[in-house]
Structures are given as C-alpha cells and as structure tokens.
C-alpha cells in the first residue's frame, strides 16, 4: 500500500467548474421548461457524417423552426444500439412524436417497438424498419435501383459487364436498391454483373474497391452502379486517377451537391435524385399532423428522378 496522500480540494473545484461550464454551454440554449400546447418532436438521425443524411437532417431542423415546434436532433452515428438508447431517452422526455431515420432494417426495429409500447407515435423517414411505424416518409428505394440500372442498360445498349457497389449490407436502402437493380438485370440477359462488393456507403472504401477492380478487371467492365453518391464519387476518383474514366459509365444515387457539380462538369455520368428536402419537410409536417391528432397519410412517397448533364441545372438550383 502506498502512503495515503493529503486530500486536495482545488482540483475538484476546477473540474466542477469545467463540468458545469460544459453543461451550461449546451444546456442553457434550449432547456427551458415546456410551454403548454407546444409540440415536442424527437429526431434520431442515422449518421450526421454522411452528406445525404446531414442534408435530410438540416431540412428537418429547418422545417421544425419554420413550423415553430420544439425539435431535438440526436445522431446515432450508424449504431443501432445507440439509436435504441436515444429513443428510450425520448420516451422519458415524453416527446409527442418521434421521427426516426433508421440505422438498420432489423436492428432499429426495437426502437420503433419501444416507442409504440410507450404510446408515442413514430414517423420513419428515408429508410424502413421491420417493425411498422405509424407513418413513413421516404422514397421507394427499389425505384432508384431500377432507374440507375436502366440508365446503364440504355447507355450500353443492353450489353456489357457491370460492377455494383453496395451500401451497408442489410440496410433497407441497400436491400431495395439491390433488388431494383436485379430486376433490370433480369430483363437484359447480355448485361452481366461481373462483381459486387460493399463499401458501406463510404467514399474512401469505394475508392479502394474500384482501384482493386481496375487491377483485376480493367478493360473488362463498362459501368459501375454505386448505391449512393459518396461511393460513386469514390469510384469516379479512382477511375480518373487511373485514367480509365472514359471506359466506364458511373452512376450513383442521392444527388448530393458534390455529385451534381461533378455531373455538371461532365465527370460523373449520372445520379438519381433523392429529395432530401422533400422528405425532411414531409416528415416534420406529418409529425405535426399526428401530434395535433389530425388525419394523416400512412405512406408519403417522394419520387426519384434521373439527373444527367442535360437536366442537372434544375437540380443544382434546389
């Protein structure tokens, strides 16, 4: 045993000050008590570090302000476990409605079930869960897969080798975009899926994957379908660096700002526009309707559109 040191008070005071300052910094902003009749919405975002989800969240927060409701945004950082915890926290805060941007089809389901057990309505936005929420605002992701693969088929005249880059396996967007793509592939027997791998929605991983594909199959593939734009940008960068872009048609999904600019510059061939602002505003409007106990639609579908160099300007304006 070491000798027992003298107890000092000062460091504790310092830390106490630090902790209180930290809490004050975050706390004083919005934690005033709830006013009667004020609508209180909790929103759990899948992952704020991905451009599309960040854009969606921005739209949701902006619409919350515009409609004058109290809206809390939390970030699940792509961890379904965290998302369930956040939902539990919303339940003890007694929010009126929860907007959930699910991390994963199965693993985020308990979040929906917990909220329903606590009689708090849930609106899923952008992705679906196995458990049925009270309402869904999003786009039919299968349609995006169909549109992208159809664009490839047209470009290649129904003949050639295609590579597909998947998002995080098991997420509803990945499963449905995959299903849509396969529906089109089944229609064109001479359009072959040469290989398919996941890059987890991540640009750097998609870039590495494409570099490896160039090593293995260069000259033997004519198109890449990336299930989101982040990965399409990664594939594009790898192709450009290897001087192989001219040989390969690249299409992504989401129409994030960087992808639109790349389409405008003639670097990226196409993307499928997913309406983040439409989804975000739709989700908040629906949540408010539910909170006010007004009649509401259970499924609000926002359509996709293919963006190419011809029509990119109208999307850049949005």
Partner 1 sequence: MKFNREFFHRFGIIFVLGILITALSVSTESFGTLSNLTNVARQVSINGILAVGVTFVLLTAGVDLSLGSVVALSGVVCATFAHPGQYPVLVPILLGIATGGLCGCFNGLLVTRGGVAPFIVTLGMMTVARGLALIFSDGRPVANMSPGLTNLAGDVAGVPIAVLCFALVALAASVFLKNFRLGRHIYAVGGNENAARVAGISVTRVKLFAYTLCGLLTGLAGVVLAARITTGQPNAGMAYELDAIAAVVIGGTSLAGGVGTILGTILGVLLIGVINNGLDLLMVSSYYQAVIKGLIIVGAVWLDRRQARS
In the complex, the smallest distance separating the C-beta of residue 244 from partner 1, rounded to whole angstroms, is 27
In the bound state with partner 1, the residue whose beta carbon lies nearer, of 169 and 257, is 169
Per the CB < 8 A criterion, the answer to whether 107 and 80 are in contact is yes
Closest CB to partner 1 among 32 and 294? Answer: 32
Nearer Cβ to partner 1 (83/271): 83
Q: How far is the CB of 256 from partner 1 (least distance, A)?
A: 19
Helices (H), 197-275: 203-217, 229-241, 257-264
Q: Are 46 and 276 in contact (CB under 8 A)?
A: no
Kind and range of the H or E run holding 194: strand 191-198
Q: Is 166 helix (H, G, I), strand (E, B) or coil?
A: strand
Nearer to partner 1, 150 or 202 (CB): 202
Query: What contacts 35, CB < 8 A, 6 or more positions away?
Result: none
| CB closer to partner 1 out of 77 and 190 | 77
CB of 93 to partner 1, least distance (A): 5
Which residues contact partner 1 by CB under 8 A? 4-8, 11-12, 14-16, 18-20, 22-23, 25-27, 29-31, 33-34, 45, 48, 72-75, 77-81, 84-86, 88-89, 91-94, 104-110, 130, 168-170, 198, 200
DSSP 3-state percent helix, strand, coil across the chain (nearest 5): 45, 20, 35
Residue 113: Cβ-neighbour burial (10 angstroms; 0-12, 13-18, 19+): middle
The least distance separating partner 1 from the CB of residue 303, rounded to whole angstroms, comes to: 29
Cβ-based nearer residue to partner 1, 48 or 268:
48
Least Cβ distance, residue 150 to partner 1 (angstroms): 26
Cβ-defined contacts of 259-267 (< 8 Å, 24+):
259/229, 259/232, 259/233, 260/307, 260/312, 260/315, 260/316, 261/316, 262/233, 262/236, 263/307, 263/308, 263/309, 263/312, 264/309, 264/312, 264/313, 264/316, 266/309, 267/236, 267/240
Nearer to partner 1, 26 or 37 (CB): 26
DSSP E strand boundaries for 128-222: 135-138, 160-166, 191-198
Which DSSP letter does residue 315 get? H
The minimum distance between CB 172 and partner 1, in angstroms, equals 11
Nearer to partner 1, 104 or 150 (CB): 104
Q: Give the shortest CB-306-to-partner 1 separation in angstroms.
A: 29
Residue number, 98 or 147, with CB nearest to partner 1: 98
Nearest approach in angstroms of CB 215 to partner 1 is: 21
The minimum distance between CB 30 and partner 1, in angstroms, equals 5
Q: What is the dihedral of CA 227, 233, 234, 236, to 10 degrees?
A: 110
Cα distance between residue 234 and residue 205, in whole Å: 8
């Amino acid at each position: 045993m070491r000798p027992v040191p003298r107890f000092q008070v000062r460091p504790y005071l310092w830390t106490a000050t630090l902790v209180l300052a930290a809490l004050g910094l975050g706390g004083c902003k919005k934690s005033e008590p709830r006013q009667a009749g004020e609508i209180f919405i909790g929103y759990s975002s899948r992952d704020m570090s991905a451009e599309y989800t960040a854009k969606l969240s921005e739209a949701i927060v902006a619409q919350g302000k515009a409609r004058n409701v109290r809206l809390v945004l939390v970030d699940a950082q792509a961890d379904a476990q965290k998302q369930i915890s956040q939902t539990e926290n919303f339940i003890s805060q007694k929010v009126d409605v929860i907007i959930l941007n699910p991390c994963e089809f199965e693993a985020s389901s308990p979040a929906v079930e917990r909220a329903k057990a606590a009689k708090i309505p849930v609106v899923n936005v952008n992705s679906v869960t196995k458990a049925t929420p009270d309402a869904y605002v999003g786009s039919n992701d299968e349609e995006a897969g169909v549109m992208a693969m159809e664009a490839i088929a047209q470009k290649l005249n129904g003949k050639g080798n295609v590579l597909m880059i998947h998002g995080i396996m098991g997420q509803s967007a990945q499963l449905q975009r995959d299903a849509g793509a396969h529906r089109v592939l089944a229609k064109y027997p001479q359009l072959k899926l040469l290989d398919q791998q996941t890059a987890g929605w991540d640009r750097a991983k998609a870039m590495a994957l494409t570099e490896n594909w160039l090593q293995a199959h260069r000259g033997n593939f004519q198109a890449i379908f990336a299930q989101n734009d982040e990965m399409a940008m990664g594939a594009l960068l790898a192709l450009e660096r290897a001087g192989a872009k001219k040989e390969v048609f690249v299409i992504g999904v989401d129409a994030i700002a960087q992808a639109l600019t790349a389409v405008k510059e003639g670097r990226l061939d196409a993307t499928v526009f997913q309406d983040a602002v439409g989804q975000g505003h739709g989700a908040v409007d629906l949540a408010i309707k539910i909170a006010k106990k007004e009649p509401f639609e259970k499924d609000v579908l926002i359509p996709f559109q293919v963006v190419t160099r011809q029509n990119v300007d109208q999307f850049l304006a949005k």
